[in-house]
Amino acid sequence: MLSRKFAITARTATLAALAALSCSTQAQVSGGSVKIGVLTDLSGTYSDLAGSGAVLATRMAIDDFIANEKPAFKIEMVTADHQNKADIASNKAREWIERENVDTVTELVTTSTALAVMKVAKEKDRIVIMNGPASTPITNEQCNDVSVHYTYDTYALANGTAKAVTTQGGKSWFFLTADYAFGQALEKDASAVVAANGGKVLGAVRHPFPGSDFSSFLLKAQSSGAQVIGLANAGADTTNAIKQAAEFGVTPKQSLAGLLMFITDVHALGLKPTQGMFLTTGFYWDRTDETRAWSKRFFDKQKKMPTMVQAGQYSSIYHYLRAVKAAGSDDTGKVMAAMKKTPINDFFAKNGQIRDDGRMVHDMYLVQVKKPADSKYPWDYYSIKATIPAAEAFQPLAQSRCPLIKK
């Protein structure tokens, strides 16, 4: 116990000395530098949709911020691979905060890692900025006041896609669900939306997670006669299911709705099996001149077009740095206040706002995958069908189960 008190005293004394030595007001940024940690999946299932692309996006945000805003504080970045494991993520975050003065831990694809790091961050009073993870408990039951859930969540995706498909005529649904908490939550959210929009859920089949052969489950879906088969799963499960649906003649008679899909999935499968599918996304590289310009810069380094997670990472880091500059400090409370106060309007988000539950709401887009004949150039995959305004896209605050929200 004695040693720890000594260690803390020594550290405080050193910091105080450092602070006293610098004369400008930016001395309030501890140590004169802001350290951003990017904790992502660099080698596993989600490395394509987040991974090294997210690291690149962070690097771009930092470089652009320094070039445009010329801050008085230094900005550093550290990265690590959490391998989609909550224990590795938790350890890394703890180590970063305790030993390396990391000010914010970001990205965190895979909900279990996000939830684990949120707890560590709350305990140590550091900001967490999440782009990759999907589940809604992040801003509901598990919410806290040091976290920001930036790019998307299962509610927004399920709501957008299920609503659009149902109102466009896909009234009867059958779900193919990955049999674990995330898949079940996705199925539940989507079912509610289907029912609320005049559709009917004929049934669901749960497949083991992870799965590889979906033929039996698809046959069940086929025999139900539903118009739409909702894929309440992600990653390889989704892509395999889509491929096999085409093989077994399930499509095009029945249509598929991918409830959690990224442009990297479409790229991996090609347009033949995915054409006509509806999905909801927070970002499409080819939407506006602004998005095209940024995406081209990204593509030049990464050789792949950015996913919404990667674009969101850039936007969120830039927003964070702006908040640090505005607050004049990297103190968690002050920076969070600044982040929540300022709206976000950049190439990524229109009408973006961070709410008290940590949810960043912004416009989402309903897109449909193009037919192979309609695709004119590489990565020309989507046609944008509708913009879902921020106010509608995400779960309303009134329905929030977050303890921070007073009703």
Partner 1 sequence: MNSSATSLESKLPLLFGVLFVIGLIAPFAVYPTFLMKILCYALFACAFNLLLGFAGLLSFGHAAFLGTAGYVCGLMVRDVGVTPEVGIIAGTVSAGLLGWLFGALAIKRTGIYFAMITLALAQMVFFLAIQIKETGGEDGLQGVPRGHLFGLLDLNDNIAMYYLVFAIFCFGFFVIYRTIHSPFGQILKAIRENEPRAISLGYDVNKFKLIAFIISAALAGMAGATKTLVFQLASLSDVHWHASGEVVLMTLLGGLGTILGPIVGAATIVALQTQLADSVGSWVTVIMGGIFVLCVLSFRRGMVGELQALIKRSGVN
Partner 2 sequence: MEIFGISTALLGSQLLVGLINGSFYAILSLGLAIIFGLLNIINFCHGAQYMMGAFVAWIALTRFGINYWVSLIVAPLIVGALGVLIERLMLRRLYKLDHLYGLLLTFGLALIFEGIFRDRFGISGESYEVPELLSGGVNLGFMFLPIYRGWVIVASLTVCFGTWYMIERTKLGAYLRAGTENSQMVQALGINVPLLITFTYGYGVALAAFAGVLAAPIFQVNPLMGSNLIIVVFAVVVIGGMGSIMGSILTGLGLGLIEGLTRVFYPEASSVVVFVIMVIVLLVRPAGLFGKS
Instruction: Answer with the entry of partner 1, partner 2, none that 12 interacts with (C-beta below 5 to 8 A by kind).
Output: none
Do strands 104-107 and 33-40 pair parallel, antiparallel, or not at all (unpaired)? parallel
Residue number with CB closer to partner 1 (79 or 101): 79
Site for partner 1 in 347-386 (CB under 8 A): none
Residue 404: CB minimum distance to partner 2, A: 35
Instruction: Answer with the entry of partner 1, partner 2, none that 333 interacts with (C-beta below 5 to 8 A by kind).
Output: none
- Show the site string, 86-105: x = touches partner 1 by CB under 8 A, - = not: xxx-xx--xx--xx------
Nearest CA to 312 out of 295, 293, 300 is that of: 295
Quick check: bond before 210 cis, omega within 30? Answer: yes
Full strand arrangement of the beta sheet holding 104-107: 74-81, 33-40, 104-107, 127-130, 147-149
DSSP string, 306-359: PPHHHHHHHHHHHHHHHHHHHHTS--HHHHHHHHHHS-B-SSS-SSBEE-TTSB
Kindly tell me which residue out of 22, 28, 30, 83 binds partner 1, with binding defined by CB under 8 A: 83
DSSP string, 349-370: -SSBEE-TTSBEE--EEEEEEP
Rule CB under 8 A: say whether 332 interacts with partner 1: no
Kindly tell me which residue out of 106, 112, 191, 313 binds partner 1, with binding defined by CB under 8 A: 112
Nearest CA to 314 out of 330, 302, 332 is that of: 302
DSSP string, 72-109: SSEEEEEEEE-TT-HHHHHHHHHHHHHHH---EEEE--
- Show the site string, 118-157: x = touches partner 1 by CB under 8 A, - = not: -x---------------x----------------------
Instruction: Answer with the entry of partner 2, partner 1, none that 90 interacts with (C-beta below 5 to 8 A by kind).
Output: partner 1
Instruction: Answer with the entry of partner 1, partner 2, none that 388 interacts with (C-beta below 5 to 8 A by kind).
Output: none
Site for partner 1 in 8-67 (CB under 8 A): 42-43
Residue type, 154: T
Instruction: Answer with the entry of partner 1, partner 2, none that 220 interacts with (C-beta below 5 to 8 A by kind).
Output: partner 2
Task: Provide the binding-site residues for partner 1, judged by CB under 8 A.
Answer: 1, 3-4, 42-43, 79-81, 83, 85-88, 90-91, 94-95, 98-99, 111-112, 115-116, 119, 135, 179-182, 209
